[in-house]
Structure 1
Amino acid sequence: MSRKLSLVLMLVGLMVIMTGCFNINEPITSESEGVWDSYFVYPLSWVLIYFAEMFNENYGIAIILVTILLRIVILPLMIKQTKSAKAMQAIQPEMQKLKEKYSAKDQKTQQKLQQEMMKMFQEHGVNPLAGCLPLFIQMPILLAFYHAIMRTGEIAGHTFLWFDLGNPDPFFILPVVAGITTFIQQKMMMVTDNPQMKVLLYVMPVMIVAFAIYFPSALALYWVIGNIFMIVQTYFITGPKVGEKKTGGAKK
């Protein structure tokens, strides 16, 4: 699990670094060059403008629709991630027994524990890192969408509900909602008592809130809608108790 945590933190850090490396002040147009701008950012910008024009220049609705569209596109991967979480939940009792059996902290015992864990994963057809694949897909999409929002000049100055899409939410409502929905979504997916993963459960919402306070409200709106989509998806695929640890032979 520590490996998975490191991977998640690495991806988050990479997103932060890459956000600052690209020129977000350069408007994105059909004339923009380069693989990143031509095949990632501009298509999202074009889709945003297309939907906005369908709804009388309402870029708030456009962002909501594009967010849902993106989530539908990666839905097969997210279903795989959710089912992987459910599979991990099912073998929690066996994992706990192995941890108790090999509780000694010496290196030899811990190596034996890892070997038994891997054997158990293979027997049950569970890949503990399967849930990381969607992260590799989502991060470039999120970063590209961030650029599309920042570099689509038509968005600046447009309002939706109480906030200006091109500026941070002055009342901090969106950042708070983004943080809360991030926590709920991660809590529903949490299937381990590993302390490091529990730290991530609280760290990620805080990071999202911090980003949303300074980023344009359009991006915070994307996070909120995306999180709600994930919460509903998880509920219908696995039920509301996906993140609860089963004990003994109790059945759901």
Structure 2
Amino acid sequence: MERTSVFTFAKKYSLIGLILIIFLAGCGSIDEPVNADTEGFFNHFFVYNFSLLIKGLASFFNGSYGLSIIVITLMIRLVVMPFMLKQTRSSLEMQDKMKELKPGMDAIKKKYKDHKDRESQMNMQQEMMKLYQKHNVNPLASLAGCLPMLIQMPILIAFYWAIRRTPEIAAHQFLWFDLGQTDIVLTLIAVAIYFIQFKVTQIGLEPQQKKQMAILGLVSPVMIGIISLNAPAALPLYWAVGGLFIIGQTLISKKIYLAHKNSTAETT
């Protein structure tokens, strides 16, 4: 049984979300404004309400749709933050447990290195499971730790489409760019932020894990760049703000976990 990384699952779910967005972009009229008469459960109850929220907050901020998008992005991140903090802590705990198991796992793999027959492989799996049980480790627990990624995905996708299908956004400017036009500078900023986010998630991982995740870590920034170059600047603005929030959240989570770990070690 191969070593499981929670961050690998998290990145995979992020990638699935991006692929889903692209898939949805090819299904239906992405330029059709969303309104109260728009058909479809998801469009009517999720996308349309987000569109109303965007316009309502923009009115509150004297017509600034840029500020409206930023505030809603932060609101969404704050709502899912407790789940994400729990997921980060679970993943860090799993990393520590897997580090403790590594010598035993390496010994088992070495034992069966030259035995590729089915019976030997089954014996190796059984010894791995006994090792997990001995240390009270459930290798499938990492899947549950990624549940927050799945919970927030419909919300983020709905907000994504609300931005694309609210025509009022395109008529406004924010900072140096037009919200309705593609902006290369903002796209590069969003790509850089998500690449930094990937690097932050790698803090504390072993070199082998970092190497395994190297290509996967480039996928999200590249996909965001491709989508942003074919979308209004409001989208990379949303991604950039969300990415910055996640970077701060991840750093804080890891710092809190490390402090708790050190405090526990001192008391024992």
Q: TM-score, normalised by structure 2?
A: 0.78
Q: CA deviation at 1:184?
A: 2.1
Gap regions ≥5 residues in structure 1: 243-248
In the TM superposition, structure 1's runs of 4+ consecutive aligned residues that sit over 6 Å from their partners are: none
| Equivalent in the alignment of 2:24 | 18
- Size of the alignment, in residue pairs? 241
Tell me the amino acid that sits aligned with residue 166 of structure 2.
Answer: T
**SS state at 1:188 partner:** helix
| Equivalent in the alignment of 1:234 | 250
Residues 9-88 of structure 1 aligned to structure 2 (within 5 Å): 9-88=15-94
Query: Cα gap change, 1:120/1:177 in structure 2, threshold over 3 Å: closer, same or farther?
Result: farther
| Equivalent in the alignment of 1:111 | 125
Moved more, 178-187 or 10-19: 10-19
Q: CA deviation at 1:50?
A: 0.8
Distance (Å, rounded) in 2 between the aligned partners of 1:93 and 1:145: 39
Q: CA deviation at 1:210?
A: 1.9
Which of 168, 182, 185 is matched with 2:194 structurally? Answer: 182
Residues 90-239 of structure 1 aligned to structure 2 (within 5 Å): 90-103=96-109, 104-105=112-113, 106=116, 107-108=121-122, 110-112=124-126, 114-116=128-130, 118-119=132-133, 122-123=136-137, 127-169=141-183, 172-190=184-202, 191=205, 193-194=208-209, 195-239=211-255
Distance (Å, rounded) in 1 between the aligned partners of 2:136 and 2:213: 22
Deviations 1:133-158 (A, max 9, x none): 12212322222112101111111121
Do the aligned residues in 2 keep the contact of 1:52 with 1:62 (CA within 8 Å)? yes
Distance (Å, rounded) in 1 between the aligned partners of 2:139 and 2:253: 19
Q: CA deviation at 1:100?
A: 1.3
Deviations 1:216-248 (A, max 9, x none): 211111111101111111222222998xxxxxx
Query: Cα gap change, 1:26/1:118 in structure 2, threshold over 3 Å: closer, same or farther?
Result: farther
**SS state at 2:189 partner:** helix
Do the aligned residues in 2 keep the contact of 1:55 with 1:61 (CA within 8 Å)? yes
Q: Which has the higher helix share?
A: 2
Q: TM-score, normalised by structure 1?
A: 0.83
Deviations 1:18-51 (A, max 9, x none): 2321321221112323211111101111110011
Tell me the amino acid that sits aligned with residue 215 of structure 2.
Answer: V
Query: Cα gap change, 1:11/1:56 in structure 2, threshold over 3 Å: closer, same or farther?
Result: closer
Distance (Å, rounded) in 1 between the aligned partners of 2:225 and 2:134: 38
Let me know the Cα RMSD of the aligned residues.
Answer: 2.8
**SS state at 1:27 partner:** coil
Identical pairs, percent:
38
Do the aligned residues in 2 keep the contact of 1:98 with 1:116 (CA within 8 Å)? no
Distance (Å, rounded) in 2 between the aligned partners of 1:65 and 1:121: 44
Distance (Å, rounded) in 2 between the aligned partners of 1:7 and 1:112: 29
Q: CA deviation at 1:198?
A: 2.9
Deviations 1:56-106 (A, max 9, x none): 111000000000011111112111221122212322422422331122453
Do the aligned residues in 1 keep the contact of 2:55 with 2:65 (CA within 8 Å)? yes
Distance (Å, rounded) in 2 between the aligned partners of 1:134 and 1:63: 22
| Equivalent in the alignment of 2:261 | none
| Structure showing greater Rg | 2
| Equivalent in the alignment of 2:262 | none
Gap regions ≥5 residues in structure 2: 259-264
